[in-house]
Amino acid sequence: MHVKKVDIILSGSINAIIGPVGTFKRMLGDRKYFENRGYDISVYTSESIIHGAYRVAPTIEHVQADAAETTSLVWRVRHAIGTFIRNKARTNKWFAIFMIERSKRNVRKLIKYYVQHDQNTDVVQCHSDLEMYYYLKLRNNSHAITNMFLHTDGYPFKMLLMYHPCLEGTKYFKKYEENFNWTVANVDNIEFIAKIGQENFLKHFPCRNKDNTGVILNGINDLTDEQIGEVELYKSQTYDFKYRLCCTGTINNRKGHRFIIEALHRLPIELLNLIHVDFLGEGAERPVLENLVRKYGITNNVTFHGVVANVDVYKYLAQNNIYILMSKNEGLPISIIEAMRASMMVISTKISGIPELVREGYNGFLMNPDTDELVECLMKLPETDIEEMGKNSRFRFENEFTFARMEREFCDMYDNFYRKQRQ
């Protein structure tokens, strides 16, 4: 059997906490499955310029050490500068352009490195439009099949303008839009991580052939027997709060953390005294939210844990019984799938691909990104069977969102590329 070479490109770090990186690590960790299906997987990230392509996943120790660096003075200074720039980039177009151009420069650097080392690749798979744009522009007579994943709800620039609203209508944004449209016209296949993403995209690009698009829902591995033992130990403990909420991810305006804090502030004291929220992650909005928590006098109800290594997130989920994510824009959040794996009821928003994960009244509650609606939802907690909804979440994870299903669909997708070539 001829083994075909698949190169996956994602700018950024192999130790980043974003969802796609976890998928690649799982693919590298189960490369035997892909080889048996006829595919040799390599992953290229920004570190590849120094270390080369990843053919095995980095060690857990490496990931934990990377998270530990966030306690250093150098990291705190860099984080403060980055927070200032990201906040300014919402209202000042020059700061916004600086951030985007810095990102584009890093992507170009990675793609140039990759093109120089590309050897008879069969499939090149990029996970952002910028990576695919530069690959299509810089590739050297490569006949590789090009596949672009879009981790959005299908509206091309919605997330970009959420971070940089000051760019809307500018010449810079119009040029960015032109480049995106050119990429869409020239890439062989486009995949989405949520059904709504494909649906919205095809409405926006009616000329794009639906047969050259697809959907692969996110999936993750189950916990190991050892981890399950730890989880059972955590769940057997007694906690001070009856309703223990957990929210993971970058702390920024898009993720909607502020809705949670505002809702807590408006709850009657007898219910508030039963609720605690753990926030895992860092971001530009954290200092603002911490000040708000102090102002509202709810420091006993909220804990900011900062960066937590991906390999340790399950421990925090095990100590809580409700997962909450009030995002304004998403693709198909891995964080909710992790919560479903942990048998947690989910409170979230009815935007993007989230309704594909959470069924109203079955394994959670859905609402608009709105403080009033969240207050109303939290008021229903005393009459909600949280444990039953958690069991329903677990059932859906086992039947619909495992990595075994996801990797099978990845290989089916690659098979389909070659089936089309032969037609």
> Can you tell me the distance from the alpha carbon of 413 to that of 423, in angstroms, rounded to the nearest whole number?
16
DSSP 2: P
Which single residue is written with the structure tokens 């170009």? 108
pLDDT at 423: 67
pLDDT values of the chain reduced to their tens digit, one per residue, 423 residues: 688 999 999 998 887 766 788 899 999 999 999 999 999 999 999 999 998 999 988 764 444 444 455 556 776 777 778 878 888 888 999 999 999 999 999 999 999 999 998 778 999 999 999 999 999 999 988 889 999 999 999 998 988 998 899 999 999 999 999 999 999 999 999 999 999 999 999 999 999 999 999 999 999 999 999 999 999 999 899 999 999 999 999 999 999 999 999 999 999 999 999 999 999 999 889 999 999 999 999 999 999 999 888 889 999 999 999 999 999 999 899 999 999 999 999 999 999 999 999 999 999 999 999 999 999 999 999 999 999 999 999 999 999 999 999 999 999 999 999 888 776
Six-digit token string for 210: 């639906």
pLDDT at 268: 98
> Can you tell me the distance from the alpha carbon of 329 to that of 86, in angstroms, rounded to the nearest whole number?
18
Six-digit token string for 119: 């050897």
Contact present, 331 and 18 (Cβ < 8 Å): no
Map out the domains of the chain as residue ranges.
4-220+403-422, 225-400
pTM of the entire structure? 0.91
> Can you tell me the distance from the alpha carbon of 241 to that of 244, in angstroms, rounded to the nearest whole number?
6
Which single residue is written with the structure tokens 């089936």? 419
> Can you tell me the distance from the alpha carbon of 41 to that of 37, in angstroms, rounded to the nearest whole number?
11
Entry field: residues in the chain: 423
- CATH T-level topology, domain 4-220+403-422: Rossmann fold (3.40.50)
Contact present, 316 and 278 (Cβ < 8 Å): yes
How far, in whole angstroms, is CA 175 from its chain's centroid? 26
- Residue 345's φ and ψ, nearest 5 degrees, are -65, 150
Choose which CATH entry (3.40.50.300, 3.40.800.20, 3.40.50.2000, 3.30.1330.10) describes domain 225-400: 3.40.50.2000
> Can you tell me the distance from the alpha carbon of 253 to that of 97, in angstroms, rounded to the nearest whole number?
19
> Can you tell me the distance from the alpha carbon of 232 to that of 182, in angstroms, rounded to the nearest whole number?
51
Q: What share of the chain is helix, strand, coil (3-state, %, to 5)?
A: 55, 15, 30
Element (H, E) at 128: none
Contact present, 152 and 331 (Cβ < 8 Å): yes
How far, in whole angstroms, is CA 277 from its chain's centroid? 21
pLDDT at 61: 43
For residue 111, the one-letter residue type is I
Choose among 63, 13, 14, 76: nearest CA to 306: 76
Q: Let me know if the fold of 4-220+403-422 is the same as that of 225-400.
A: yes
> Can you tell me the distance from the alpha carbon of 376 to that of 355, in angstroms, rounded to the nearest whole number?
19
Choose among 269, 334, 261: nearest CA to 22: 334
DSSP string, 296-314: HT-TTTEEEEE---GGGHH
> Can you tell me the distance from the alpha carbon of 208 to that of 212, in angstroms, rounded to the nearest whole number?
8
